[in-house]
Amino acid sequence: MLKNIPPRFVLILWPVVDTCMRTISRTRPVRTDDSGIIRFNLHRYKGHTRVLNDGSEIKTGDTIIELHLNNAWFKRRRNLYLSASQSLREFLGCFAQDLRILAHQISSGTFGDITALRGSTLLYVAARRLGFQVDELPDSLWKKGARFYMAGLMQVYHLRGEELSGLREKPWELKEVWLSRAALLAKYNSKYT
């Protein structure tokens, strides 16, 4: 068994830990009925000034949206027995729909002046397809702990359930993803329906 992958017998605790983490971080749903794939919370950016690939700057004190996956969405779909490619298509489509809703909310001023969206994910390939900039995270204890926690969530909730052999065969990397306000609105606000 690879290191940094939770043993299966421990995974019974992951839904409880996930609920606690969601409560502590005060995530809220993009959709009022919480049926979407995205949950989020608002943060003040605390790092050094960061320039994204599109030229947008994120400065210390700027308000950013921290993205989280709604694991209940995956739990509801686990019993649909979709193939991996069907699951990926549905995941990308639903994520894009929620980004459209979020773009509309941001453009209407619902959250004040948002500079960017940010997340940490093992699903960075999908994030890149949705328009996110993908960056390496520095090696740290936080990165190792977050990867361990997210690997457990992937095994309990996500995409391929028991077929997540790739997670055990080769470790997935935890990456940071960014999408500037300008890029979000350019890509998703005009398509909001």
pLDDT tens digits for 77-122? 666 555 444 567 788 899 999 999 999 999 999 999 999 999 998 8
| Alpha carbons 127 and 92: distance in angstroms, whole number | 9
Question: Does 170 reside within a domain?
Answer: yes
Any idea of the CA torsion for 37, 39, 43, 46, to the nearest 10 degrees?
A: -50
Which DSSP letter does residue 137 get?
A: P
Question: Does 141 reside within a domain?
Answer: yes
**Span 21-53, pLDDT tens digits:** 777 778 899 999 988 999 999 999 999 999 999
CATH value at residue 131: 3.40.630
pLDDT at position 18: 75
Question: Does 71 reside within a domain?
Answer: yes
pLDDT at position 95: 93
Number of domains making up the chain: 1
Decide which of 172 and 191 is more confident: 172
Instruction: Give the residue numbers spanning the domain of 41.
Output: 8-189
Question: Does 1 reside within a domain?
Answer: no
pLDDT at position 84: 46
pLDDT at position 166: 45
pLDDT at position 171: 58
Question: Does 2 reside within a domain?
Answer: no
Return the closest-CA partner of residue 61 out of 112, 15, 115: 115
Distances (CA, A) of 79 to 4, 71, 109: 27, 14, 38
Question: Does 3 reside within a domain?
Answer: no
